[in-house]
Amino acid sequence: MKIAVGSDHAGFEFKKTVLSWLERNSYEINDMGPHNEESVDYPDFARKVAFAVADGQCDSGILLCGTGIGVSIAANKVKGIRAALACNPEFAILARQHNNANILCLPARFTDAVTIEKTLQNWFSTDFEGGRHEKRVNKIEPCC
């Protein structure tokens, strides 16, 4: 499974935690940047990850910024993307089970490495439930 990963400068340090966890768990990684802590604009990296997932270059994506809100808003502008902010490990389960989210967004300024790793574990070990959730997810697609 190939995972696109991106962040802004606020998420850069925890991006290292994400990359390390993915490597330890044998995922193929596409690090979309940034590659240092210099100030950058989060929409640029959210868009890179979102297009990589939407185009099928990667199976799913992970984005980090200070709150996770900015990258989730930016990624969700791309058709076919369901980016979900997971503030804790339980949110990651529900984002997969109920929303079939394909990009996980993490709040770098409001978490720690242990929580990130548990959130990643939950994200990758949970499947979409389908059923009653499928018709709802289908309604998420852009209407115009």
Angle at 140 between CA 83 and CA 64, to 5 degrees: 10
Question: Which among 9, 35, 87, 98 is annotated as catalytic?
Answer: 98
35 classed as catalytic: no
CB-based contact 97:129 (threshold 8 Å): yes
Instruction: Kindly give, in sequence order, each residue whose CB lies less than 8 Å from that of residue 14, ignoring residues fewer than 6 positions away.
Output: 7, 64, 106, 108, 111, 113, 116
135 — phi, psi (to 5°)?
-65, -35
Instruction: Kindly give, in sequence order, each residue whose CB lies less than 8 Å from that of residue 89, ignoring residues fewer than 6 positions away.
Output: 115, 118, 119, 121, 122
Question: Which among 9, 58, 65, 105 is annotated as catalytic?
Answer: 65
The rounded radius of gyration (Å) of the Cα atoms in the chain is 14
CB-based contact 6:61 (threshold 8 Å): yes
Residues annotated as catalytic (active site), given as ranges: 65, 98
